[in-house]
A = this chain, B = another copy of it.
């Protein structure tokens, strides 16, 4: 009995370790390593003769290639299942692997090594940045959902047969993905795969923002690029949990998206009274923690400066080092890849830094992570609902016109891939 318990614990530990190993590689340049690792002994199954997968390659001679190639689906091990992929989103974080190297004005259809492909030139100035992956075929796709069509012999794996599951771990732009059963979260009976497609990256990130807020002793949030899919989720989550949120957007249309959801403090950074409005909203909410998707330029500095002025409005203590209120902005995205410029008058009670989901989850631990995932499934049609502007096939991903569309990262435009189409 004790042995059995031990074994179960070991399995969980291995699964968690594998999970972190996989998410670590989410969008990793060195996914090459994972690719090598996944080249384990193959058990080619004749069950899936038409299985296909997408590869992304930056060649030594300066080409960016997305190719669709046959996939020999390995036989699942005891604790594994085979998921037929039916819904895989294209996230901004996926584009780093898919198209970051490509000069998109040069995309064209070609046949590469007998496989259909989308080829683009890599600007010579960009080539050095992709040295680490040069010549290596990489799989891509952070998260997705599909139906379990084959399973290993364990009870846990068998129990998932026929179920629609939501999964994460890279290499999702495939017709079939082999996964540890432990890492598949089943959707309720009858729910379509589409509802489970985007239940990891954005939903876990916004929950992570609130974890961080609580762990670091803040009581309200500021968010930039706040009308994004992720921003809308954060708005709904904050409304539900009673966390005051100050949302920064760049247009009237974006503002309307968030006020329609029910948000009160939506500030437009393109208006001339931006700072006044921001200070007033921060004074009212007491937000001292910001999450910034922009990164470059002065936005983080504007937020910290406004927090400082809001602290004065709220009657905070001041020293020669500024207010003694701890003010923090985390940069979690790089819509602007330029320098981050922080004003000199911030005092010494502030911090700016990067925020990433993977190390956050490692710190939160496996148990809290499973809790968060369960919540994403529960709220898949509520807080964590995603809208898609179009649904495309694996072959569509290498269509020049369609690729130009999904590469644009426009607010509110999110493309869903159905590899089984």
* Residues of A that sit less than 8 Å from B by CB: 24-30, 93, 96-97, 100, 132, 295-296, 301, 317-321, 324, 326, 328, 331-332, 334, 336-356, 359
The answer to whether B356 touches A332 (Cβ under 8 A) is no
**Cβ–Cβ < 8 Å partners of A30 in chain B:** 317-319
When chains A and B are docked, how far (Å) is the Cα of A339 from the Cα of B343?
4
Closest residue of chain B to A349, judged by CB? Answer: B354
The answer to whether B334 touches A295 (Cβ under 8 A) is no
| Besides A96-B320, A351-B352, 8 new A-B residue pairs in contact (Cβ under 8 A), listed by A number | A28-B318, A321-B354, A321-B356, A339-B343, A340-B342, A346-B354, A350-B353, A352-B352
When chains A and B are docked, how far (Å) is the Cα of A166 from the Cα of B100?
61
Provide 18 A-B residue pairs closer than 8 Å at the C-beta atoms, listed in order of the A residue: A25-B319, A27-B319, A28-B319, A29-B319, A96-B320, A97-B320, A321-B354, A321-B356, A332-B348, A334-B344, A334-B348, A337-B344, A337-B345, A339-B344, A342-B342, A349-B356, A349-B359, A352-B353
When chains A and B are docked, how far (Å) is the Cα of A385 from the Cα of B328?
36
A302: min CB distance to chain B, Å: 13
Closest residue of chain B to A340, judged by CB? Answer: B342
When chains A and B are docked, how far (Å) is the Cα of A337 from the Cα of B346?
10
Closest residue of chain B to A96, judged by CB? Answer: B320
Partner of A353, one of B321, B334, B351: B351
Partner of A24, one of B317, B346, B359: B317
Partner of A339, one of B29, B93, B341: B341
Closest CB pairs A-B (n = 3): A351-B353, A348-B354, A340-B342
Partner of A295, one of B27, B296, B340, B344: B344
A167: min CB distance to chain B, Å: 20
**Cβ–Cβ < 8 Å partners of A321 in chain B:** 27, 354, 356
**Cβ–Cβ < 8 Å partners of A301 in chain B:** 339
**Cβ–Cβ < 8 Å partners of A344 in chain B:** 295-296, 334, 336-340
Q: Which of A26, A96, A319 has the largest count of B CB atoms less than 10 A from its CB?
A: A319
**Cβ–Cβ < 8 Å partners of A93 in chain B:** 320
When chains A and B are docked, how far (Å) is the Cα of A338 from the Cα of B343?
7
Closest residue of chain B to A320, judged by CB? Answer: B96
The answer to whether A320 touches B100 (Cβ under 8 A) is yes
The answer to whether A320 touches B27 (Cβ under 8 A) is yes
A288: min CB distance to chain B, Å: 13
When chains A and B are docked, how far (Å) is the Cα of A26 from the Cα of B25?
47
When chains A and B are docked, how far (Å) is the Cα of A324 from the Cα of B28?
11
Q: Which of A321, A343, A346 has the largest count of B CB atoms less than 10 A from its CB?
A: A321
The answer to whether A320 touches B28 (Cβ under 8 A) is yes
The answer to whether A347 touches B354 (Cβ under 8 A) is yes
A398: min CB distance to chain B, Å: 21
The answer to whether B354 touches A354 (Cβ under 8 A) is no
Closest residue of chain B to A350, judged by CB? Answer: B354
When chains A and B are docked, how far (Å) is the Cα of A392 from the Cα of B351?
39
When chains A and B are docked, how far (Å) is the Cα of A245 from the Cα of B132?
31
When chains A and B are docked, how far (Å) is the Cα of A355 from the Cα of B349?
7
When chains A and B are docked, how far (Å) is the Cα of A318 from the Cα of B133?
11
**Cβ–Cβ < 8 Å partners of A324 in chain B:** 24, 359
